[in-house]
Structure 1
Amino acid sequence: MNNTALYLTTVLIWGSTWIAINYQLGDVAPEVSLVYRFGLAAIVLFVYCKWRKLDLSLDMKSHFQLICFGVMLFGANYYFLYLAQSHINSALTCIAFSTIMLMNIVNTRIWFNTKISKQTYLGGALGLIGIVTLFWPQIEHLSLTDTTLLGLGLCLIGTMCASAGNMISIANKNKQLPVVQSNAWGMLYGTLFMALMAMIQGVEFTMSTTPEYIVSLLYLSLFGSVIGFGCYLTLLGNIGAHKASYSTIMFPAVAVVISTFVEGFEWNSYTVFGFVTIMIGNLVVLAKPKFSEKLLAKPATTQS
């Protein structure tokens, strides 16, 4: 896949996983569902590696790096986001998580001394404005109670964990660790972390046998995890975390489009303005430098 195909695949898959996640909530504790999701994804990746005869052997230093990678990206990230979801609505969670793009911009500068272009800052700003506008009707009358602030705090912690996982993924590529094998080990370590957290909290490991739960679990494991993370982390290594993470702002836009057809969601002026602003921001971030320079160029002045 080229970068365009990787980006589109990531956005379309992760933009649609919200439907599957809805079917995961209810009878089974979120932590346990995450154990099932990433445990199944890890099994699939290990089987794939064996089938393709990909080398899974790594030195201890690489394993330690992958433990940190798995705990941050496939464990703590989701754990704190699920905790946050019990205190704030999904719209506020989505907005807070979208700050991962800003965190990635800062972290790539700190971790790898990556120079960030003006077009990335401009596109990011447009994207954040767009996503806040998109969800404005749901947060307009929000009261900043202790519960809301707690939820926002937990969500930002989860987002920081995700950004740290992104940085470790870049470090994995710099160390020339293969994406598929790294994801297999990372998801295994993330699964073990979530299982440990569930046991510490005394959460019961139950299993729902309803068709909705099973199908959504398979979709999240195979598409949302194996394919989605494979594409995203490959893209992250190719174009950088600051650009690849704009896809997190595109997810809600895709979700709104899907909801329009699936649930009969009705658009309003906030939806239109937010969606258009997000798309413009996307074009600015991913456009070739020459095109972006034209957008950012100041009008020429004439001399008398």
Structure 2
Amino acid sequence: MTAFLYALTVLIWGTTWIAIKHQLGPVAFEASIAYRFALAGTVLAGALILSGRLAPIPRRHLPFVALQAVCLFSCNFACFYLAARSVPSGIVSVVFSAATIFNVANAYLFHRRRPAPRILAGASIGLLGIACLFRDTLAGTALDRDTAIGLALALLGTWFFSAGNLVSARNQRHGLPVATVNAYGMLIGAALVAGVAASRGVPFGFDPSPAYVGALLYLAIPGSVIGFTAYLTVVHRIGPEKAAYMTVLFPVVALTISVFAEGYRVTPLAGLGFALVLAGNVAVFAPLRRWRGQQKGRPEAACDA
């Protein structure tokens, strides 16, 4: 099941960057983020209520649910949408791949948890592959003031996402259900974005075009309800450091779609990038499985999980 959730998250979030492009238009980005998470939170909460699975959040945990909303359902996306104004979405997705590094660094900074060498090796190989995939795009982007600001915002958004991983892991360790926390968190995130936008006088318009509505529905239901639930479940099962390696695979999915939908041509360097990303995935996960197979029945085998 963990492998299925891993693959599902990669497939869904690898395609959301394309949908975000259709939200950058006449509607203010704050409004688009608020619409996305208000719809996602409502749908998820409604489904949990109908199934009798919406659990109450104890008062002592509410600040951490709100913190998760700040990191995963508001501030990070505000940074990404702002970054996409001045930086191509492909580059934003490359920067997002740095979540692997941020998660390792934050885990050590806040929990003094040293990453296994294979995780560092796999992340490094994967990031090198991403650099190969987007070398032409990166080289063709002039680093002017707006681009520098866009890159900084993308990095800040990635840091928020990484911090949110740790907050979610904390909430799950205390027995809070992933779906319930996500439902409340999405609604809180939508309210935060809407409140800040309203205080700044941002108009809340709406674009009824099929492209905008379709993108909104895709980002809210598969991208948020399914994607975040699957991803944060994987975080709980394998840890934030290994789960973050998914972010290295997102641009690969986006490029694969571009081959068929946008006529993207795979150069030899890009082919090398694909191979390196897959090799990084093997480095992160295969050694653990072999070790467990060899050490079956011995309690030491679990210490690497």
Give the Cα–Cα distance (whole angstroms) in 2 for the partners of residues 118 and 220 of structure 1: 35
1:193-215 deviation line (CA, Å, top 9, x unaligned):
11122223322101111122112
Give the Cα–Cα distance (whole angstroms) in 2 for the partners of residues 241 and 174 of structure 1: 13
Give the Cα–Cα distance (whole angstroms) in 2 for the partners of residues 197 and 276 of structure 1: 44
1:259 alignment counterpart: 258
Give the Cα–Cα distance (whole angstroms) in 2 for the partners of residues 140 and 292 of structure 1: 41
Aligned-partner residue type, residue 258 of structure 1: I
User: Contact 2:94–2:251 (CA<8 Å) still a contact in 1?
Assistant: no
1:190 alignment counterpart: 189
1:37 alignment counterpart: 36
TM-score w.r.t. length of structure 2: 0.91
Aligned-partner residue type, residue 24 of structure 2: L
Aligned-partner residue type, residue 194 of structure 1: V
Change (3 A) 1:121 1:292: farther
Change (3 A) 1:22 1:84: closer
Aligned-partner residue type, residue 187 of structure 2: L
1:215 alignment counterpart: 214
Aligned-partner residue type, residue 219 of structure 1: Y
Give the Cα–Cα distance (whole angstroms) in 2 for the partners of residues 282 and 3 of structure 1: 15
1:146 alignment counterpart: 145
Q: Which has the larger displacement, 191-200 or 41-50?
A: 191-200
User: Contact 2:129–2:276 (CA<8 Å) still a contact in 1?
Assistant: yes
Q: Check if 1:20 corresponds to 2:4.
A: no
1:175 alignment counterpart: 174
Q: Check if 1:68 corresponds to 2:64.
A: no
Change (3 A) 1:143 1:180: same
Q: Secondary structure at the match of 2:15?
A: helix
Structure-to-structure mapping, 1:191-206, within 5 angstroms: 191-206=190-205
The percentage of counterpart residues that share the same residue type is 38
1:270-290 deviation line (CA, Å, top 9, x unaligned):
211111111111111122426
2:299 alignment counterpart: none
2:134 alignment counterpart: 135
Give the Cα–Cα distance (whole angstroms) in 1 for the partners of residues 146 and 163 of structure 2: 26
Q: Secondary structure at the match of 1:67?
A: helix
* Deviation for aligned residue 1:18: 2.3
Give the Cα–Cα distance (whole angstroms) in 2 for the partners of residues 84 and 201 of structure 1: 19
Structure-to-structure mapping, 1:48-127, within 5 angstroms: 48-127=47-126
User: Contact 1:119–1:292 (CA<8 Å) still a contact in 2?
Assistant: no
* Deviation for aligned residue 1:88: 2.2
* Deviation for aligned residue 1:291: 4.4
Give the Cα–Cα distance (whole angstroms) in 1 for the partners of residues 28 and 141 of structure 2: 27
TM-score w.r.t. length of structure 1: 0.91
2:156 alignment counterpart: 157
Q: Secondary structure at the match of 2:284?
A: helix
* Deviation for aligned residue 1:218: 1.0
Give the Cα–Cα distance (whole angstroms) in 2 for the partners of residues 41 and 131 of structure 1: 30
Q: Secondary structure at the match of 1:139?
A: helix
Paired residues in the alignment total 292
Aligned-partner residue type, residue 205 of structure 2: T
Change (3 A) 1:283 1:86: same
User: Contact 2:29–2:81 (CA<8 Å) still a contact in 1?
Assistant: yes
Give the Cα–Cα distance (whole angstroms) in 2 for the partners of residues 263 and 142 of structure 1: 20
Give the Cα–Cα distance (whole angstroms) in 1 for the partners of residues 114 and 48 of structure 2: 36
1:89-141 deviation line (CA, Å, top 9, x unaligned):
22332222211111101112233333311110000001111111111101114
Give the Cα–Cα distance (whole angstroms) in 2 for the partners of residues 172 and 284 of structure 1: 29
Q: Which has the larger displacement, 148-157 or 176-185?
A: 148-157
User: Contact 2:118–2:283 (CA<8 Å) still a contact in 1?
Assistant: yes
Q: Secondary structure at the match of 2:73?
A: helix
Give the Cα–Cα distance (whole angstroms) in 1 for the partners of residues 8 and 168 of structure 2: 19
User: Contact 1:284–1:292 (CA<8 Å) still a contact in 2?
Assistant: no
Give the Cα–Cα distance (whole angstroms) in 2 for the partners of residues 213 and 85 of structure 1: 16
**Structure 1, unpaired ranges of 5+:** 294-304
User: Contact 1:17–1:220 (CA<8 Å) still a contact in 2?
Assistant: yes
1:57-92 deviation line (CA, Å, top 9, x unaligned):
222221111011001111000111212222322233
Aligned-partner residue type, residue 252 of structure 1: P
Change (3 A) 1:229 1:209: same
User: Contact 2:17–2:93 (CA<8 Å) still a contact in 1?
Assistant: no
1:280 alignment counterpart: 279
Give the Cα–Cα distance (whole angstroms) in 2 for the partners of residues 86 and 22 of structure 1: 10
Change (3 A) 1:216 1:146: closer
User: Contact 1:91–1:139 (CA<8 Å) still a contact in 2?
Assistant: no
